[in-house]
């Protein structure tokens, strides 16, 4: 539930720092795409960079206008957070070597294991595996054919 009264608590410095870093990464990306020789390759990274900068500015404004001193990691399983970060980093490392689909499979499986709090059975495993294949094929088709993004 969202509290309608203005908060007078301290600012969430972590949110401000991370949002500022994302603005910086967006600006670096916008500078980097100016060196691309193929004009078609500029569209997608530029759009993502502008969206990242816009959303980060919104987060900073919201954090300044309605600070939430209760933000933070909260309680929960640390292994899930570590698995998610390790999975994303692993997928980034595997992509140049093995390609888009194996890296996407690693990200999907690791993220699913980190996010699934319920138990596993054959039916849910089958449903998730099948949906993962369709999701990965859909993203591959979207990037490769619809957007024309060259994939490793």
HSE value, Cβ hemisphere, 13 Å, CA-based, for 90: 15
Select the more confidently predicted residue: 9 or 133: 133
Tokens, residue 139 = 């993203």
Burial of 38 (0-12, 13-18, 19+ CB in 10 A): exposed
- Judge whether residue 4 has pLDDT over 80: no
Is pLDDT at 7 greater than 60 in this prediction?
no
User: For 73-129, how does the pLDDT look when each residue is reduced to its tens digit (9 = 90+)?
Assistant: 566 788 888 999 999 999 999 999 999 999 999 999 999 999 888 888 999 999 999
- Which residues, in sequence order, are CB contacts of 124 under 8 Å at separation 6+? 118
Name the pLDDT band for 1 (thresholds 50, 70, 90): very low
The average pLDDT across 135-150 equals 87
What local confidence, expressed as pLDDT, does residue 73 receive? 59
| Measured distance CA(143)–CA(152) in Å, rounded | 11
For residue 9, pLDDT over 80 is answered with no
Q: Which residue has the higher pLDDT, 1 or 44?
A: 44
Sequence ranges of the domains in the chain = 1-72, 74-152
Q: Is the pTM of this model over 0.85?
A: no
pLDDT at 10 over 70: no
pLDDT digits (tens, 9 = 90+) for 23-66: 999 999 999 999 988 877 788 889 999 999 999 999 999 988 88
């Amino acid at each position: 539930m969202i509290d309608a009264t203005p908060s007078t608590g301290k600012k969430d410095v972590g949110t401000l720092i991370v949002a500022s870093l994302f603005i910086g990464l967006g600006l670096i990306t916008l500078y980097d795409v100016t060196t691309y020789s193929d004009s078609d390759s500029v569209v997608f990274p530029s759009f993502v960079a502008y969206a990242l900068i816009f959303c980060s500015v919104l987060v900073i404004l919201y954090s300044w206008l309605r600070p939430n001193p209760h933000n933070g990691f909260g309680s929960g399983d640390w292994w899930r957070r570590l698995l998610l970060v390790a999975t994303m980093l692993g997928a980034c490392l595997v992509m140049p070597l093995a390609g888009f689909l194996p890296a996407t499979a690693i990200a999907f499986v690791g993220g699913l294991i980190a996010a699934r709090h319920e138990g596993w059975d054959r039916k849910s495993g089958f449903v998730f595996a099948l949906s993962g294949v369709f999701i990965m094929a859909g993203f591959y088709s979207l990037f490769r054919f619809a957007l024309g993004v060259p994939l490793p």
